[in-house]
Each structure stands twice: as C-alpha cells, then as structure tokens.
Amino acid sequence: MDPEDFPTPDVPVSSLTPDELKAQIDSGESVTILDARMGSDYEEWRIDGENVTSINIPYYEFLDDEISEDVLDKLPEDTEFTVLCAKGGASEFVAGSLIQEGYDVNHLEEGMNGWAKIYKAVEVERYDGPGTVLQYQRPSSGCLGYFVYDDGEAAVIDPLRAFTDRYLEDAEELGVELTYAIDTHIHADHISGVRNLVAAGVEGVIPEPAVDRGVTYADEMTLAEDGDTFEVGNVTIETVYTPGHTSGMTSYLIGDSLLTTGDGLFIESVARPDLEEGDDGAPEAAQQLYQTLQERVLTLPDDTLIGGAHYSDAAVPADDGTYTAPIGKLVERMDALSLDETEFVDLILSDMPPRPANYEDIIPTNLGQQEADDEEAFELELGPNNCAASQESLAGD
C-alpha cells in the first residue's frame, strides 16, 4: 500500500499545521512526535530538538485490524503526541487508529513536505550598517538566505526556488523593489531561485569564477568578480572571493558589517571540500579553504558578523534568533580556525558526513545542464543539507 493512499479514519482526527508545531518547539514546550515513515527516511531526516521526543514506528505496523502490544508499548500513554509521515495521508490514518485505542493524538498536516515549506524571516538586530538585513530560515533543511533593503531597494542572497514568490511578496509588503538576486555559489543541496527571479524582472548575480563549472545561463546574469560592489539604497554589498567549498565560492560583505559566507564558514563549522571534485580533489580544496579563511575572512574586524547559508542542529542562535556570530567569537569557540594548515586539512578530511541527498541531480540543475519542474525541484531538496564538515570534530569545548 502506498503510504499516502489511506482511507479516511472512522473517527475525527485533529490536525496541527507545520507552523503550529514549529511554534510549540520554539516556545520550549515538550513535544512528542510519532514518525510513521520508514526507518531509513527517519534516520536520514527528522524533526529534532532539545525539547522534542521522537519515536519511529513505520505506518505498516498499524495496518492490522488489531495493533500489536509490542507497538503500543512504545507509545506514551499519558502525553498528547503528533503523528507525522511524508505528506499527511498515512499519519492521519495512524492517528485515527490510535484515537480508537484511547490515545491523545493529532497529526501533522502535509507531513514532512509541509515542514519543508516553513520559511521564517528574522531581523539581524546586531547588523549596524545602513539599511536592514533579514535572515531567512528554513528549519527542515537548515538553509539560510538574506534579504537586504534600504531606501526603496532590496537584494536577496542565496534565494531558494521554492520561495520565489515569497521574496517578491516580502518586497511588495516592505514597499521596496527587489533589484538583485545573488548566489554565493553553485549549491549542492537546494535548487537556486536566482533564475526564477530573473524571469520576474530581477537582476541576477552569480560569481564569475563559478561559470567555468559549466553554467549554461551566464549570459543572462551579472557576473560578480572579487571587489565588485552592488548598491541597494545606501547599502554597499561588496564581493569577496572565498574559494574552498567550491572553486567559485563567493561571499558578500553587507554594509561593512555582515559577511554572508555561503557554504564557506558557518557559526558552528566550516565547509566540506569534496562536493565539486570529489574525494580526489578534496585535499587541495581543503588547503584552499584554509587560505581563504585565514587571509580573506579572519582578517576582517572581530565584530564583523558571519552569516552562512546553513545551520545544523549543533548551531545555537543568537539573542535575536538569527544564526549569526561575530568573527572574534567564532575564533574563540571553533578550534579549527586556530590550527595550522596541515592540522586543518587533516581534521577537515577525517570525519566527512554523508553528501547531501540528490546532490548529483541538484548541481547540474543549478548549472542549467538539467531541468526539473517545480515539484521535482522541491522533492530533490528534501532532507538534510550536509554541506558542512563534521561539527563534532571542529568545535571547541
């Protein structure tokens, strides 16, 4: 049976929206989740948190007329919990079956697909340059983007294709014109929204060094070289070439206050170096990353904020709720930033996590070499991003 092809339950089942579940988790409320997906899907990607208790029992365990005692023994008896699946069909059926057994249970609307549609904008309050900077946060994958606006103009950095309309709607609501859509590099974990925004009349910007990877649409874009600047109202966005994660990896310094580092440096880790040239090219890329961090990033003032394109479960948000941190603080708490080159390379290569799901299709799609419709693009990027090296080995105490 298809896990989403289930009959309507015989009893009413209360539902919870993804935004409501996120609000519960963010408030610190204890949340219990019964994840009814297959074990392999659960191990790869699930909703987690310090106040989240997660139980995995696949949906097929609930198909018999009588649920086994072994299954029921795994469930909390005196706590309300939420059942989820991939798209919401199996979870509603499972929840209905458990309600008939006397459990206090609801189900998550649209399942993990609905969870992947959450996209939150949070102001970076510590940014002290001109204009305003918002950080977009996608909790399902840890993707981060940035929206800069001032004096009637705006730019979005690292936009996601799935949220193309969101950027345009936010610009309209703020009373500004979205003038630039900027990518830091050729992403391996999600489908870029730059080309879709160009189709909507926005000027697209990609790093000039990324073109050699085989970008097919370079003539439709403004190509950013090291030192180039883009003006958004009174805000200057400066291009800073920062290779290592990829050969074209480029950061953007906003108002001399916030460096959006793409996948080069995160607040809890540094980039993995193997997604462009594979294992054979990873040592050379790791050396390049070391030189970039030491010569181009860590030479900036200590109070310069770092904002990467991702965050992981190991990341702790700042007081304003954003995943940003001053360079000086990162040097204090991340041992990897104080190593010499040989030690750094050895550490980065010693404990690489699995590569992002579907990266072999996502990269050519972002290069323009392969096509994907909106539904296919959304499905490709479901799951963890895995664009960082192992956080456990890089962070200090």
> What distance in Å separates the CA atoms of residue 193 and residue 119, rounded to the nearest whole number?
14
Candidate list 36, 85, 99, 362, residue with the active-site label: 85
85 classed as catalytic: yes
Distance (Å, whole) CA 100 – CA 86: 23
What are the C-alpha distances in Å from 259 to residues 106, 142, 298, 308, 394? Answer: 42, 18, 11, 8, 21
Question: What is the C-alpha to C-alpha distance for residues 152 and 149, in angstroms, rounded to an integer?
Answer: 7
Neighbours of 131 (CB within 10 A): 21
Residue 319, both tokens: 């007081």
> What's the CA gap between 196 and 162, in Å, rounded?
10
* Residue 65 amino acid letter: D
Distance CA 320, CA 316 (A): 11
Whether the Cβ atoms of residue 98 and residue 75 lie closer than 8 Å to each other: yes
Helices 341-350 and 278-292 meet at what angle, rounded to 10? 140
Q: Within 10 A of 313 (CB to CB), how many other CB atoms are there? A: 11
Tokens of residue 16, six digits = 């919870």
Whole-angstrom distance, CA of residue 214 vs CA of residue 216: 6
Catalytic residue numbers, as ranges: 85
